[in-house]
Amino acid sequence: MAKSTRTPLISGNWKMHHNHFEAIQTVQKLAYLLHKDDYEVVDVSVHPPFTDIRSVQTVLEADDTPISIGAQHCYIEEKGAFTGEVSPAMLAKLNVEYVIAGHSERREIFGETDDLINKKVQAILKWGMTPILCCGETLEEREAGGTDEKVSGQVRAGLAGLTPEQVGGLVIAYEPIWAIGTGRTATADDAQATCKVVRDVVAEVAGADAAASVRIQYGGSVKPSNAAELMAQPDIDGALVGGASLVAEDFAGIVQFRQNS
């Protein structure tokens, strides 16, 4: 399976950090640090809080900066009485390209279920955006040998009802929960092994073509110093970056992982 056919996607998940002024500064710095050579070989997205998206869009579009705008979450309906929620249609209107679905923090803190996440994936696709479907195991699950089962189950549930073409265009992020924000990264071998499990599940549910084109990100304490080794793995096609994406220099260092390989 030739990895070169899958352009790596490096995504910055800012979580609940940066107000819109800080967001503008961060993307301006990022635009300064990244160059044409980078965008030719790597796709880049930033996922600010909702309140920043319009400002980030304005900055990126004014300068024609080829960084995609992402969101961290959305609801499944187009509009209606859903106090506090943001619809996929609203995000599409802001030229959002990627929406994270089923991040472990949404699952654990906000009780999102596999079923809701599947509906969210479908809603994101319906509005012409690309879901980044997240999966990953807890430390207890890993220690009990349950990683493959947990991750396979989440991926299967998240992809239910999708066509092979839709699955092939998706991004799936494997993020071991014990590695998120902890400074602990899965070894490149372990990350590769689980990303391979994800690709095998995709092959099983959507066929070989979808498995060859779906992009699988690794996430969990990715830094400039470990990005190159992770990205060199055959089934890792990008990174979902939390903490290190808040600082433009660090995130740029990850996007430019080729320079450390």
Which residues of this chain interact with ligand PGA, rule CB under 6 A?
A: 13, 175, 180-181, 219-222, 240-244
Residues 191 and 174: their CA atoms lie apart, in Å, by 8
Q: Return the DSSP state at 67.
A: P
Q: Which residue, 255, 220, 222, is CA-closest to 29?
A: 255
Q: Does 40 participate in catalysis according to the annotation?
A: no
Check: CB of residue 104 under 8 Å from CB of residue 177.
Answer: yes
Question: In this complex, which beta carbon is closest to ligand PGA, that of residue 12 or of residue 88?
Answer: 12
Question: In this complex, which beta carbon is closest to ligand PGA, that of residue 54 or of residue 184?
Answer: 184
> Tell me, what amino acid is at 95?
N
Check: CB of residue 129 under 8 Å from CB of residue 98.
Answer: yes
Q: Minimum CB separation from ligand PGA for residue 219, in Å?
A: 4
Question: In this complex, which beta carbon is closest to ligand PGA, that of residue 103 or of residue 199?
Answer: 103
Which residue out of 105, 112, 141, 175 is catalytically annotated? 175
Q: Which residue, 24, 8, 56, 21, is CA-closest to 218?
A: 8
Question: In this complex, which beta carbon is closest to ligand PGA, that of residue 231 or of residue 240?
Answer: 240
Q: CB under 8 Å to 207, separation ≥6 — which residues? A: 164
Question: In this complex, which beta carbon is closest to ligand PGA, that of residue 60 or of residue 222?
Answer: 222
Check: CB of residue 150 under 8 Å from CB of residue 137.
Answer: yes
* Structure tokens, 136: 């990953």
Q: Minimum CB separation from ligand PGA for residue 97, in Å?
A: 17
Q: Minimum CB separation from ligand PGA for residue 62, in Å?
A: 28
Which residue out of 47, 103, 137, 141 is catalytically annotated? 103
Residue nearest to ligand PGA (CB): 242
Residues 146 and 64: their CA atoms lie apart, in Å, by 45
Residues 141 and 180: their CA atoms lie apart, in Å, by 15
Q: Which residue, 129, 153, 133, is CA-closest to 141?
A: 153
Q: Does 35 participate in catalysis according to the annotation?
A: no
Q: Minimum CB separation from ligand PGA for residue 80, in Å?
A: 29
Q: Minimum CB separation from ligand PGA for residue 12, in Å?
A: 9
What residues are annotated to the active site? 103, 175
